[in-house]
Structure 1
Amino acid sequence: MKSFIALSLPLLALSAPTSQDNTSAPPAFGINKVISGGSGCPQGSIDINWTNNGILPIYFGNAFTASVGPSVTADQSRKNCQINIDIAYSPGYSYSVYSADYTGWAAIDSGVTGVVAAHYYFSGESTAGSTRLELQGPYNGKYVKSDNVAVSVWSPCGQQSLLNVNVEVALTPLGSYASGQLAVNKETGRFANQLYIRWRQC
């Protein structure tokens, strides 16, 4: 479990998107607990921690790789990762995911389509934000999915609420002679996938 600590780093890294809200982060904040599950990220296979008060990097493991091909079973064509992030922070603040970067690699034949999708919502809230990237084969190499979340999903004021991030990678069609692999990671290392957070006072 990560401790609840005070941070005093810059609001956003230079490479991060520009937030439309200039409210400083609360005096104290931190991650209480991260729970992950799904075919792409069994519990304990990912790592999340603060880079500064505006960026949450996520590191996925090699399990987060979808595959299709003549000898590949259908259940490998889609991998999903559901992440629940319990963030504790000083009273009187709310936060939102306003953008995200996902970096990975793809090796897909002609005729194969890859999709990287992400959904953001808070437990108990009806509003959600969703984004989608589509890759058409032939494609071989690194990709970057940069989200600008169209709907600002804010945590409720006056109470703690889990941030839910649901990410998936999928390939179609199934059962063809064309092959493909699509991942939100890198076999020889780990790409940093980043959530950009902004704060406001209630």
Structure 2
Amino acid sequence: MKSFVALSLPLLALAAPHALDASSAPPSFKINKVISGGSGCPQGSIDVNWTNNGILPIYFSKDFTASVGPSVTADQSRKNCQINLDISYSPGYSYSVYSADYTGYANIDSGVKGTVAAHYYFSGEQDTGSTSLTLQGPYNGKYVKQDDVVTSVWSPCGQQSLLNVNAEVSLTPLGSYASGQLAVNKETGRFTNQLYIRWKQC
């Protein structure tokens, strides 16, 4: 039921009053609600969990699959999902998405290009973390995406803010005889975006 694309970023020293600790979460925190929308995540099709070691798995359904081919309509070539996570936690903390894991499968003909991309940001903030993986056909099998997040995106210090995750899978070109499918979990038909969260005290 799990599949991932990975982003790992070495912990960086930040100019903050307290030292950064990737494993030290606030005394209390919870996910209040999850709002999602997009062609890759119909309402009610995602699950979000939390682990004590700072991992936030988001499970997508098999709807998150892009397709191209002679008999495939153009709107199937790109699937996206915009997720808003409302997380509350103890005052005096801030958190960051510093990495993410994805894996999946692709079956694409020669001449077809597949892209898996994700963007992370907090509502009202300008900083954005983005990653992408390109697969060039012919390709048939499992892929693993392991990328560093170039920008460390932090929630406003001492304030609650929505974490936004905008993920997508896409295939090009359209209107050719070449075919392809790009998904995120061949074994289970589930797409997991596993975010890694770190905390700091303000």
TM-score under structure 1 normalisation? 0.88
Stretches of structure 2 that go unaligned for 5 or more consecutive residues are 1-5, 12-19
CA distance in 2, matches of 1:19, 1:44: 35
Distance change (3 Å), C-alpha of 1:115 and 1:44: same
Task: Note the 1:93-172 alignment, pairs <5 A.
Answer: 93-172=93-172
Percent of matched pairs sharing the same residue:
82
Moved over 2 A (4+): 15-19, 184-193
Distance change (3 Å), C-alpha of 1:51 and 1:19: farther
State the Cα RMSD in Å.
1.8
User: Quick check: 1:60–1:185 contact (8 Å CA) kept in 2?
Assistant: no
Worse overlay, 146-155 or 106-115 = 146-155
CA distance in 1, matches of 2:191, 2:81: 16
Task: Note the 1:64-103 alignment, pairs <5 A.
Answer: 64-103=64-103
Worse overlay, 30-39 or 181-190 = 181-190
Which residue pairs with 1:183 in the alignment? 183
Q: Which amino acid letter does the alignment assign opposite residue 143 of structure 1?
A: Y
CA distance in 2, matches of 1:29, 1:19: 24
Question: Shift of the alpha carbon at 1:18?
Answer: 7.0
User: Quick check: 2:80–2:167 contact (8 Å CA) kept in 1?
Assistant: yes
CA distance in 2, matches of 1:22, 1:159: 19
- Relative CO higher for 1 or 2, CA cutoff 8 Å, sep ≥ 6? 2
TM-score under structure 2 normalisation? 0.88
Q: Deviation string for 1:123-162 (max 9, x for gaps)?
A: 0001111111000011111111123211111000121000
Stretches of structure 1 that go unaligned for 5 or more consecutive residues are 1-14
Question: Shift of the alpha carbon at 1:58?
Answer: 1.3
Q: Which amino acid letter does the alignment assign opposite residue 48 of structure 2?
A: I
CA distance in 1, matches of 2:57, 2:29: 16
User: Quick check: 1:62–1:186 contact (8 Å CA) kept in 2?
Assistant: no
CA distance in 2, matches of 1:93, 1:43: 31
